[in-house]
Amino acid sequence: MIGIILCGHGGFASGLEKAMKQILGSQPQFIAVDFPETSSTALLTSQLEGAMGDLDPNEEIVFLTDLLGGTPFRVASTLAMQRTGCEVITGTNLQLLLEMALERDELSAEEFRIGALESGHRGLTSLADELSRSREETPDEGGI
């Protein structure tokens, strides 16, 4: 099972973890690491290295981060480039996290990345778009 390390600014990671646990329950091979304002790049690096060490060494790892170019993304990227079988995904949202936590058993890290990007895109929508899509999918029953 792919290991997931979720990391983001402030309480992003622990907040998403709490929401995930409310919906799915506790998940194996999952670690959330917050990056509060009082932290440093060196401390975050140490925490992410420790998280990697706590996961199954025979499995691939995916880092889910909050913001492209932010410190959690940059540190995860540096660590991922030092080890094979690691992917880094940024722009994480709750839909992506939930879907991928459930689907990761049979996936490689690369397949996880592709699925996560699709899931994240599906999760970003609006009421107007969903209502429009709903109208398009409803067949016209009064036709000729």
Model pTM score: 0.89
Q: Which pLDDT value is given to residue 140?
A: 59
Please report whether residue 142 resides in a domain: no
For residue 32, list its beta bridge partners.
6
Residue 99 lies in a domain: yes
User: Is residue 143 included in any domain, yes or no?
Assistant: no
For 42, the domain range is 3-137
pLDDT digit string (tens) for 15-33?
999 999 999 999 999 999 9
Any residues with CB less than 8 A from the CB of 112 and at least 6 apart, and which?
Answer: 2, 60, 62, 87, 100, 103, 104
Report how many domains make up the chain: 1
Give the pair of three-digit tokens for residue 24. 């799915």
Average pLDDT over residues 111-120: 93
CATH number (domain holding residue 63): 3.40.50.510
pLDDT, tens only, 60-114: 999 999 999 999 999 999 999 999 999 999 999 999 999 999 999 989 999 999 9
Which strands make up the sheet holding 86-90, listed edge to edge?
30-35, 3-9, 61-65, 86-90
For residue 144, tell me if it sits in a domain. Answer: no
- The answer to the question of residue 17 being in a domain is yes
